[in-house]
């Protein structure tokens, strides 16, 4: 996840221009740029498939997890990942842009067959 945030920040700086944009338009441009790089293998079990900007200021990540849901408890994994991701949104310098924009962050997770596993949503008041 940390690697993805670093890639994301680089893309943001590349995608910026001097014309002021709405938060949604800005996030939409970032999403388009990120999607050109997808899929991105984040770690051994997580792959970013694509992103999506939603009005007024939501940024959605769509991930595939290579995770054995029969052998391991997906709810425990979700709980752990939720705490880690929320902590990164609160403290990682690369996430400052989201904090400044009051963006809602969504993370969707599916298995390798495309079956929905879970979603995490962080509103600005949760991570600021």
Query: Rounded mean pLDDT of the chain?
Result: 87
Rounded to two decimals, the pTM is 0.83
| Domain harbouring 60, CATH code | 3.30.300.250
pLDDT in the model for residue 18:
42
Instruction: Give the separation between CA 49 and CA 38, rounded to whole angstroms.
Output: 6
- Output the pLDDT for position 97: 84
**Residue 99 contacts residue 122 (beta carbons within 8 Å):** no
Residues 48, 38 contacting (CB under 8 angstroms) = yes
Domain count, the chain: 1
Query: Which of the four pLDDT bands, split at 50, 70 and 90, describes residue 11?
Result: low
Give per-residue pLDDT as tens, 66-123.
988 788 899 999 999 999 999 999 998 888 888 999 999 999 999 999 999 999 999 9
What is the span of the domain harbouring residue 56? 2-127
């Amino acid at each position: 996840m940390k690697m993805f945030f670093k890639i994301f920040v680089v893309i943001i700086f590349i995608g910026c221009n001097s014309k002021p944009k709405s938060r949604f338009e800005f996030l939409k441009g970032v999403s388009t740029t990120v999607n050109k790089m997808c899929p991105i293998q984040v770690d051994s079990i997580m792959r970013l498939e694509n992103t999506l900007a939603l009005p007024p200021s939501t940024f959605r990540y769509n991930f595939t997890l290579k995770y054995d849901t029969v052998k391991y408890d997906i709810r425990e994994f979700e709980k752990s990942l939720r705490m880690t991701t929320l902590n990164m949104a609160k403290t990682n310098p690369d996430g400052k842009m989201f904090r400044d924009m009051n963006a809602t962050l969504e993370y969707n997770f599916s298995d390798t067959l495309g079956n929905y596993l879970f979603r995490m949503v962080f509103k600005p008041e949760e991570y600021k």
